């Protein structure tokens, strides 16, 4: 008996941005967060930019913009945004960790380590601790198996 299996096809609907979704920063935040969670950073940036023109100091919107930059591998833009956010609020663990990851992705391991270590200490998150170990190895601070 010769059975053929149907190939698994997964279709994802394109991101839809409704008119007025960025009219208020609360709506822009929700819409952009949803788009980013569905891995649509270009569309999220299209929603965030008009809202940030109206409210350029909004930390939530700026954090989402940094996330979108990270997803698009626009690492210098992500670094610049995250550096500003960390300077404004050094106790923000997510921002500090994201800054460390942006620096890591630019192969700036020694610059990334202080941010990753502090974020790991602030949160106690095992994934953050794993990130520290990975970057320490990449920087040559720890030898594998030691």
Q: What is the pLDDT of residue 14?
A: 54
> pLDDT (tens digit, 9 = 90+) per residue, 47-97?
999 999 999 999 999 999 999 999 999 999 999 999 999 999 999 999 999
The answer to whether residues 90 and 131 belong to one domain is yes
The answer to whether residues 90 and 67 belong to one domain is no
Tell me whether residue 33 is in a domain.
yes
Q: What is the pLDDT of residue 11?
A: 55
**Can you give the residue range of the structural domain that contains 105?**
79-141
The answer to whether residues 68 and 91 belong to one domain is no
The answer to whether residues 86 and 113 belong to one domain is yes
In this predicted structure, the answer to whether residue 36 has a pLDDT above a threshold of 80 is yes
* Long-range contacts formed by 99-104: CB under 8 A, 24+ apart: 100/131, 100/135, 101/70, 101/131, 102/70, 102/75, 102/78, 103/79, 104/131, 104/135, 104/138
CATH number at residue 125: 1.25.40.10
């Amino acid at each position: 008996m010769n059975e053929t299996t149907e190939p698994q096809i997964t279709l994802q609907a394109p991101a839809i941005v409704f008119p007025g979704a960025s009219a208020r920063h609360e709506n822009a935040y929700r819409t952009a967060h949803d788009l980013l969670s569905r891995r649509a950073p270009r569309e999220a940036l299209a929603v965030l930019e008009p809202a940030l023109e109206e409210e350029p100091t909004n930390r939530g919107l700026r954090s989402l913009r940094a996330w979108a930059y990270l997803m698009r591998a626009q690492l210098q833009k992500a670094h610049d945004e995250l550096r500003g956010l960390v300077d404004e609020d050094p106790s923000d663990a997510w921002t500090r960790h994201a800054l460390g990851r942006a620096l890591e992705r630019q192969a700036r391991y020694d610059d990334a380590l202080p941010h990753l270590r502090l974020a790991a200490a602030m949160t106690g998150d095992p994934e953050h601790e794993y990130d520290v170990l990975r970057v320490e190895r990449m920087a040559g601070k720890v030898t594998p198996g030691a």
